[in-house]
Amino acid sequence: MGSGGMGAQDGMGSGGFAMNPLRDPSNILSQRSVYFDFDSYTIKSQYRELVLAHAKYLRDNSNAKVLLQGNTDERGSREYNLALGQRRAESVKNAMLLSGARDHQIEAVSLGEEKPRATSRDESSWTENRRADILYQGEY
């Protein structure tokens, strides 16, 4: 999962003694990455459920906050890629806002091409890097 995924704090309204849903591998909330097509920032249908689940979690836990980090593949200008990654993060943010999360709970930022998760120079790496990650407070 996203970098620093083990750093999540308990007690963010996750509900008593149950396992933190953000870290429960059987819970969709443990999934934190949304992948995008080349040169696209449209959320694909297979990630709708994931994004809506996080939006609902934010709606139900008004103290919870997330950092959305957009990423791109390595091809092209660094600053333009930073802007493309920002669009991906903002796509996820907008979907979350439409589903009940509040603006102050979400910061959308971009890492552009600067923090690739996969570093080979091939299509599979580029696919892996066209991504937005959802990080809860304490995880970054």
Partner 1 sequence: MRNYLHPLSFYVFFLFLSIMHAPLHAALNIEIFGGGASRIPIAIVPFSAESRLPQSITTVVAADLERTGSFRLTDSSGLTPHEPEEVVYADWQNRGASALVIGSTTILPDGRIDVRFRLMDVAKRTQLTGFAGTVPADQLRAVAHRIADIIYETLTGNIGVFSTHIAYVMKQGNKYALQVADSDGFNARSVIEYTEPIISPAWSPDGSKLAYVSFENKKPVVYVQTLSTRERKAIANFKGSNSAPAWSPDGSRLAVVLTMQGGSQIFLINAGGSGLQRLAQSSGIDTEPSFSPDGQSIIFTSDRGGSPQIYRMAITGDKAGVAERLTFEGSYNVSPRYSPDGKSFAYIHRNGGKFNVAVQDFARRQMQLLTDSRFDESPSFAPNGKMILYATEIGGRGILSAVSSDGQTKQRLSSQTGDIREPVWGPLLKSQRTGNFVN
Tell me which residues in 80-139 interact with partner 1 (CB under 8 A): 80, 82-84, 86-87, 90, 107-112, 114-115, 121, 135
Q: Which two tokens stand for residue 138?
A: 């304490």
Binding span for partner 1 by CB under 8 A among 22-30, 43-51, 57-65, 67-75: 67-75
End-to-end CA distance of the chain: 13
Question: Least CB distance from residue 114 to partner 1, whole Å?
Answer: 4
In the complex, least distance from residue 85 CB atom to partner 1, rounded to whole angstroms: 8
Q: Which two tokens stand for residue 28?
A: 């969709």
Which CB atom, from 51 or from 109, has the smaller least distance to partner 1? 109
Residue 78 is a binding residue for partner 1 (CB under 8 A): yes
Give me the numbers of helices (H) and strands (E) for the chain, helices first please: 3, 4
For partner 1, which residue of 19, 53, 67, 118 counts as binding (CB under 8 A)? 67
Least Å distance between CB 104 and partner 1?
Answer: 9
41: tokens are: 């920032």
Choices 17-25, 47-55, 73-81, 124-132 (CB under 8 A): range interacting with partner 1: 73-81
CA distances from 41 to 35, 38, 86, 116 (A): 9, 9, 9, 17
Q: What is the helix (H) or strand (E) element at residue 124, kind and residue range?
A: helix 123-129
Strand partners, 69: 109, 133
Our finding on whether 5 is near partner 1 (CB under 8 A) is no
Q: Can you name the residues that pair with 68 across neighbouring β-strands? A: 108, 134
Where along the sequence are the contacts to partner 1 (CB under 8 A)? 67, 69, 75-80, 82-84, 86-87, 90, 107-112, 114-115, 121, 135, 140
